[in-house]
Amino acid sequence: MSRMDRYKKIHEETNKKESVFARKQLTDKELEKAAYEEEKRNQEDFSTTNEEYNARSKKAQGNFEIKTKGFKARNSHPRNLRNKNKPKSVQKDEEQPRQVKKEKKIKPKKKHPIFRFIIGLLLLLLVYSGVAFALGKMSAASDSEIPKQEVENFNGFTSADGANNILLLGSDSRKGETARADTIMVLQLDGPSKKPKLISFMRDTLVDIPGVGQNKINAAYAYGGADLVRQTISQNFGLECKYYAVVDFKSFEKVIDTLFPGGVAINAEKDMSTNLEVPIKKGQQNMDGLHLLQYARFRMDEEGDFGRVRRQQQVMDAIFSQMKNPLAIAKLPYAAGKVLGYTGTNLKTSFLVKNSLHILKGASGIDRLTVPAKDTWEYGNTAEAGSVLVVDKEANQKAINNFLAK
């Protein structure tokens, strides 16, 4: 090779090396320009991708349009596009943790002091009533002056209107024999009217006594006790009784004096003295237990048993009306214990407590009915019973049903 050829070759190789080196030595401006073009290409790619996504969404949703205002796509930033291809676990680690709000502890509300006072007062009244009732019953049990009334076998039933009627019987055990019932009443406390109702049966009413035959209604007690009286009333008048109470007249006096120390306010119809232990003067007065009993039992006048039944109802009404006295209400548990202690009865204490409000309703007046009803009877005589009241049983049964339904 000639010298010229060798120089030419060396020159070509030198130019080639300088061209490679020049390409490696890029200026800062050329680097910035390259980065800007790269980012522009990425944005164009994202725009194309976003347009394709919108086109697919519109095709899937049809004509349904979702208008968004002031909302930016979550992945609109190029950085999010780059994260799109990253694994979910990596994306989750890169996200900032959300701040969890601390739950506020709900403090239990404090009971209002008025509620605590009311609850405490009710508990106190309950304890007082229970203790007073027990003391009254013990007092009656320890009283040797009053003959003890044994609890009878009484197969009572609830009446058709759902009421648990009470058969009230008054007798005078001082006669020393099984006496006829001097007083026959049915007291309804829990009937449809929710008000005390009192039905009095005149003792000379002629009835059919089961297993005995025709006789006066008061004879049923002498033949078979309280349960036979219940059967007689049911068979002749269609009235059922669930409970019974036989009250001795002497115990009646003591209960009245315990419950009403100042006496019972009542307006006596007339002067009375015949066959009475104490005379009664006409007019408004306060009667103690003895005077009230004599007033209720008197029948030695032209009205006979009609007048006595009316006065018995007047006495019961006066007793209920006296319940308005706060002092009487305070003594009611003790008196109720005495009544049950002196009385032969199957009455449950729970029944009296449950119907205590109905008893207090009687303070405004008690509804009364006498059987036989007006214009449903006539006088008669029988060989077995003597002078009697012959009654229209169907008419009286209808009168009883109408009275209790009001």
Which pLDDT score, from 0 to 100, does residue 214 have?
A: 95
The stretch 159-166 carries a mean pLDDT of 93
| pLDDT category of residue 179 using cuts at 50, 70 and 90 | confident
Entry pTM: 0.68
Residue 39 lies in a domain: no
Higher pLDDT, 82 or 239: 239
Is residue 13 assigned to a domain? no
- In the chain, how many domains are there? 1
pLDDT at 3 over 70: no
Does residue 379 lie in a domain region?
Answer: yes
Question: Where are the extended beta strands (E) located within 33-143?
Answer: none
Residue-wise pLDDT tens digits, 123-134: 888 888 888 888
Residue 314 clears pLDDT 50, i.e. is over it: yes
Is the pLDDT at 202 greater than 70, yes or no?
yes
Q: How confident is the model at residue 73 (pLDDT cuts 50, 70, 90)?
A: very low
Q: Is residue 287 part of a domain?
A: yes
DSSP E strand stretches across 194-306: 197-201, 206-209, 213-216, 243-248, 264-268, 283-287
Chain centroid, CA 116 distance in Å = 21
Residue 82 half-sphere exposure toward CB, CA atoms < 13 A: 7
CB atoms within 10 A of CB 247: 19
Give CA–CA dist 149/80, Å, rounded.
99
In the structure, what pLDDT confidence band is assigned to residue 140 with cuts at 50, 70 and 90? Answer: confident
Within a domain: residue 393? Answer: yes
CATH number at residue 137: 3.40.630.190
> Would residue 50 count as lying in a domain?
no
pLDDT for the residue numbered 226? 95
79 lies in some domain? no
Q: Which domain holds residue 331?
A: 127-405
Residue 259: pLDDT over 90: no
DSSP, residue by residue, 242-274:
SEEEEEEHHHHHHHHHHH-TT-EEEEE-S-B-T
- So what's the pLDDT on residue 103? 59
Residue 194 binned pLDDT confidence (cut-offs 50, 70, 90): confident
pLDDT score, position 315: 94
In this structure, is residue 333 part of a structural domain? yes
Give the mean pLDDT of 10-28: 54
Q: What integer pLDDT is reported at residue 388 of this predicted model? A: 95
CA pair distance 169, 273, nearest whole angstrom? 25
Q: Which of 22-36, 137-151, 239-253 shows the lowest per-residue confidence on average (mean pLDDT)? A: 22-36
